[in-house]
Structure 1
Amino acid sequence: MMKPSKTLSATAGNKSRGSSRWLAMVLVRALVVILCVTTAVFFLIRIVPGDPSKMILGEYSTPEALESMHHALGLDLSLGDQFLRFVKILFTQGDTGNSIISGTSTRELIADRAPVTLLLIGMASVFAIIIALLLATLAATNKDKLPDHLIRIFPTITLGMPVFWVGLLLILMFSVRLRWFPVGGVGEGWGGTLHSLALPAITVAFSQIPTLVRSLRAQMLDVLESDFVVTLKAARIPRAIIMFKHVMRNAALPTLMLFGVNLSYLIGGTLVVEQVFGIKGIGSLLFSSIAKRDFPVIQGIALYCAISVVIISLLVEIISRWLDPRTKGKS
């Protein structure tokens, strides 16, 4: 008969090997996605009509000048050679080259604008989570009552609203009429920065709240109807403890995974909202680079955003597996 210590050791070894295989598969999948995004960004940008050399030299530039500029920018090479050159610079320098317009490193341009954009994304995420928790809890605890009906109607209406249109409405209401927030730009100091980014962050969060509320409400209702919650109620455990310690903890996991999936939409919405509110972040840099056909900067922004989404989605998946007791020990 096998000793208990040997049995426990074998079980622990199987769990460790199963977790290692799962983590390796997830990392490989993330790497493949990053490589596919890198390839797609390079070729899709070059499909768009327009000549960067003409943007620099002007419409009335001579063919000789255009040819010289093409050579300087490496645009006279074949697409295959350009791609190999692009990949080499990307993996050796962590960059996509120098800006065609300013000649500055793409990495430096993005790093200069990134803090404001990252802060805006962080604030939008916090607002989305807090508001979704409050609305979903109110709806789940008042099932089929007036608050529940109003909150269930809310996602249906708001999902069809473009984020830039919501931003314009909020500016008219809270900046022009009530004057609670500045119309645009970023204030000075931490207090001024947070105050000026509050309204844009709420605008970005507005696009994520409907799906989060709908998902979290459904999960909370399922947990509230489960047997262990009925037992806790029969034991006269305080309602607040049941909701926040047991119900919300078990219902939050699927919503967390949904939030990770929708993160790409949140980042994309942030770039658009920056234009609406006149914030000099990565979004304004992206739109100005698109207008000027600045290939390296467009590629850099697209790649850094895509890699950020892949990494954060990977972390959400790892955290979700770690928090979910049903996946612990599965090979």
Structure 2
Amino acid sequence: MMMPGKLQGSAAGNRTSYSWLTAALIRAAVVILCVMTAVFFLIRIVPGDPAKMILGEYSTPEAIAAMHHTLGLDLPLWEQFIRFVKLLFTSGDTGNSIVSGTSTRVLIAERAPVTMLLIGMACVIAIVIALLLATVAATNKDKLADHLIRIFPAITLGMPIFWVGILFIMLLSVRLRWFPVGGVGEGWSGMLYSLTLPAVTVAFSQIPTLVRSLRAQMLEVLESDFVVTLRAARIPGRVILFKHVLRNSALPTLMLLGVNISYLIGGTLVVEQVFGIKGIGSLLFTSISNRDFPVIQGIALYCAVSVVIISLLVEILAKWLDPRTKGTR
């Protein structure tokens, strides 16, 4: 029979967990609202008149005024903002494209699958390579392999991702012909094959920080008392490494990956342009050059919301996996 004290402790722990989750959801909602406001006003601060860009340099003042009325740009700024928020919450849209007249939601939905697949592949590649390199480095502390792996992050962190992509294209696509130069293949196999090199390029920017974090955590766990006890009990080294060391070292690296997800998404958009992939990145750069601010707003908002949601899920997952965090927030 459970004691009253234990029941009270369990109820208090549940209340603490619920209050932490509520606070996390409120923080995420506030961040999304701030992003919405910032995206709306920052786009309008940028110099240039969308009406002139649509009608051309030699358009008449009357035509420009008519286009302003069509786009709603003749309204007060606060009224434009209210219409923007209302449209966003009622239809999940930021308006029609100034260039094509197509709904922003439709344009983004057409390009999103390729971008999401590229991000997913980059995450898997980054995690697998980081696990391998960090494990080799931690199990060979202060040896040649450890020194070489520790030099790797110091060199690669300063490389711009677009430059890395160009190098990969020149070496692996043009010279060795292992991968296509750009574009997206047909079918699942063709798509995965053509996105492999761009995914490796995106992962290249995340691997150094993940390797350094995971290596440091693994060394700390390897030197802990419970690992010494397991070794004294003659538990096989592989069991200790994969069942205990990696499990206890993965949470901080998982949190780091959640924090860096915004850099991962931003790097993906740049890499799409380098490899000529028709994803959200190419749509964003085209919209910027055309000053198609409804599409720019939509992409910025969807990317920001994705970052907030993924970060929130990673935080919840880390709290659920690590019993030490229960009741601390």
Instruction: Give the partner amino acid of 2:153.
Output: P
Q: Counterpart in 2 of 1:254?
A: 252
How far apart are the structure 2 equivalents of 1:39 and 1:181? Answer: 42
How far apart are the structure 2 equivalents of 1:91 and 1:328? Answer: 34
Q: Counterpart in 2 of 1:96?
A: 94
Q: What is the aligned-residue RMSD (CA, Å)?
A: 0.9
Would you say the 8 A contact 1:220–1:247 is kept in 2? Answer: yes
What is the total number of aligned residue pairs between the two structures? 329
Instruction: Give the partner amino acid of 1:103.
Output: G
Secondary structure in structure 2 of the residue aligned to 1:308: helix
Q: Counterpart in 2 of 1:226?
A: 224
The Cα of 1:330 is off from its aligned counterpart by 4.2
1:189 pairs with one of 177, 187, 190: 187
How far apart are the structure 2 equivalents of 1:63 and 1:291? Answer: 23
How far apart are the structure 1 equivalents of 2:107 and 2:117? Answer: 17
Instruction: Give the partner amino acid of 1:89.
Output: L
The Cα of 1:5 is off from its aligned counterpart by 2.5
The Cα of 1:55 is off from its aligned counterpart by 1.3
Would you say the 8 A contact 1:131–1:209 is kept in 2? Answer: yes
Would you say the 8 A contact 1:15–1:330 is kept in 2? Answer: no
The Cα of 1:11 is off from its aligned counterpart by 1.1
| Cα deviation digits, residues 37-65 of structure 1 (max 9, x gap) | 00000111111111111111110101100
Alignment of 1:16-27 (within 5 A): 16-27=14-25
The Cα of 1:238 is off from its aligned counterpart by 1.0
Q: Counterpart in 2 of 1:117?
A: 115
Structure 1: state its 5+ residue gaps: none
Q: Counterpart in 1 of 2:59?
A: 61
Alignment of 1:1-20 (within 5 A): 4-20=2-18
Q: Counterpart in 2 of 1:289?
A: 287
Alignment of 1:235-250 (within 5 A): 235-250=233-248
Q: Counterpart in 1 of 2:211?
A: 213
Q: Counterpart in 2 of 1:152?
A: 150
The Cα of 1:4 is off from its aligned counterpart by 4.8
Secondary structure in structure 2 of the residue aligned to 1:309: helix
The Cα of 1:329 is off from its aligned counterpart by 4.2
Would you say the 8 A contact 1:223–1:247 is kept in 2? Answer: yes
How far apart are the structure 2 equivalents of 1:190 and 1:93? Answer: 31
The Cα of 1:81 is off from its aligned counterpart by 1.1
Would you say the 8 A contact 1:127–1:201 is kept in 2? Answer: yes
Q: TM-score, normalised by structure 1?
A: 0.98
| Cα deviation digits, residues 92-122 of structure 1 (max 9, x gap) | 1111011111110000000000000000000
Q: Counterpart in 1 of 2:75?
A: 77
Q: TM-score, normalised by structure 2?
A: 0.99
Instruction: Give the partner amino acid of 1:148.
Output: D
Structure 2: state its 5+ residue gaps: none
| Cα deviation digits, residues 136-166 of structure 1 (max 9, x gap) | 0000000000010011111111000000000
Task: Note if 1:280 corresponds to 2:278.
Answer: yes
How far apart are the structure 1 equivalents of 2:232 and 2:280? Answer: 54
2:160 pairs with one of 159, 162, 166: 162
How far apart are the structure 1 equivalents of 2:328 and 2:52? Answer: 58
Instruction: Give the partner amino acid of 1:37.
Output: V
1:41 pairs with one of 36, 39, 42: 39
How far apart are the structure 1 equivalents of 2:52 and 2:313? Answer: 43
Secondary structure in structure 1 of the residue aligned to 2:110: helix
How far apart are the structure 1 equivalents of 2:316 and 2:285? Answer: 34
After TM superposition, the runs of 4+ consecutive aligned structure 1 residues lying more than 4 A away are: none
